[in-house]
Amino acid sequence: MCCVSRYINLDDCWQVARRSNGTIIENPAMFPSGMRTIADAVHARGLKFGLYTAHSTHTCQRRPGACQHEAIDAQTYCDWNLDYLKIDGCGGCPVASNVSWSIFREHFDACAAKTGRYMVESVESCGSVEGCGQWIAGIANLWRTGGDIQANWHSILGNAQRNNAMSSVANSHPGHFNDADVSAAVLSLVCYG
């Protein structure tokens, strides 16, 4: 059996600023036709489209994050017809990550009810069955169980062990998944410069 990814996801650095009303702005030089046009083109090819953000003030590459903009960002992503959102954990925010993730989920569910387009929510991170493992599947579709995987055996083995420790959470919630940072198999564009 062969499994083929149906998602094209843009990683960090697609966003450059926020408008005065708080709406996120995509890089006009890289995406002059806008994200909705890209999403439509991806959908026309039978694929799904996703983006990256962080629940913090800034993303890992110091671009605008979602901190205290979750509702407006979720509505923007709904308007752009997104199918997937990765929410990273870089930076800081006075809003707890689970509160931020819950706001996104609430608005994504409202979007799905209105448009029929379901949005996958991928969050960073949940690594404890006793802690976030008790509620994570009610918010996210998949969750990182460890840190960024590195190109060495120690890192790979450590992430696999952390992922295995969370297996009961994913196994008891069909359609929800642990992410040992192997989601890089999803086609992504990254920031250069």
CATH number at residue 53: 3.20.20.70
Q: Which segments of 55-176 are extended strands (E)? A: 84-88, 120-123, 142-144
- The dihedral region occupied by 99, where left means phi > 0, alpha psi between -120 and 50, and beta the remainder, is alpha
Q: Do the domain assignments include residue 152?
A: yes
Whole-angstrom Cα distance, residue 116 to residue 109? 10
Question: Best-predicted range by mean pLDDT among 28-42, 89-103, 146-160?
Answer: 28-42
Lowest mean pLDDT among 14-18, 75-79, 182-186: 182-186
Q: Do the domain assignments include residue 182?
A: yes
In this prediction, residues 85-101 reach a mean pLDDT of 89
CA 183 to chain centre: 11
Residue 4 pLDDT grade (very low, low, confident, very high; cuts 50, 70, 90):
low
Domains: count for the chain:
1
Residue type, 97: S
pLDDT digits (tens, 9 = 90+) for 123-136: 998 888 999 999 99
Q: Which one, of 78, 69, 85, lies nearest residue 36 by Cα?
A: 78
Angle at 119 between CA 136 and CA 21, to 5 degrees: 100
Residue 49 pLDDT grade (very low, low, confident, very high; cuts 50, 70, 90):
very high
pLDDT attached to residue 188: 36
Beta bridge partners of 121: 85
In this prediction, residues 94-103 reach a mean pLDDT of 91
- Residue 140 · residue 98 · CB < 8 Å: no
Q: Do the domain assignments include residue 1?
A: no
Q: Do the domain assignments include residue 127?
A: yes
Q: Do the domain assignments include residue 2?
A: no
Which residues are identified as catalytic? 88, 148
Structural domain including 21 reads: 7-189
pLDDT attached to residue 127: 82
